[in-house]
Structure 1
Amino acid sequence: MLTLSGTRSRLSLLRSALASSMASLDRRRAADIPSGYIDDYVALNWLRWDGGHLRLTTVGSNILQQLTLQMKAE
């Protein structure tokens, strides 16, 4: 779970793992996502539960788009 101590580094880890986490969810391999990440994504409003499935929120979609643009720029 996201805690106040180490929040900046945890956010960085979560952010960098978002694309691979979404790929795991698309393959129905949630077990491949590091422990606690899903809870943190939901707490940060990057993912939401929808009918038993996790879906990207607008915030999560924007972050994923930013990451994609950064990777293309590199």
Structure 2
Amino acid sequence: MPKNSITTERRATLREGLQSTADALHRRRASDIALDAIDDYVALNWLEWWGGALRLTITGENVCRQTRLAIETP
């Protein structure tokens, strides 16, 4: 799905789920991530295929960090 076709609501949903997605990747459980979410994360450049495996991009790492900071900051 092209980046431009991802709605604001969908982007917010993906942002909320990115930390659990990152956790799944860290545990080597990419199979736990919905295929449509993977497609959208790749379109947003938050995930990338690397050597046959998924990993967070620098952008994805930054989005995770921003999300964590927003939760931790009162």
- Interval of TM-score (by shorter of Structure 1 and Structure 2): 0.7 to 0.9
Which residue pairs with 2:26 in the alignment? Answer: 26
Unpaired runs of 5+ in structure 2?
none
Give the alignment of 1:1-74 within 5 angstroms.
1=1, 4=5, 7-74=7-74
Distance, in Å, in 2 between the alignment partners of 1:27 and 1:62 is 20
Percent identity between matched residues is 48
Aligned residues between the structures? 73
Please report how far the alpha carbon of residue 30 of structure 1 lies from its aligned counterpart in structure 2 after TM superposition: 2.0
CA drift at 1:37: 0.5
TM-score norm. by structure 2 comes to 0.84
Comparing both structures, which one devotes a greater share of its residues to helix? Answer: 2
- Aligned mates of 1:33, 1:50 — CA distance in 2: 16
The letter for the 2-side match of 1:68 is R
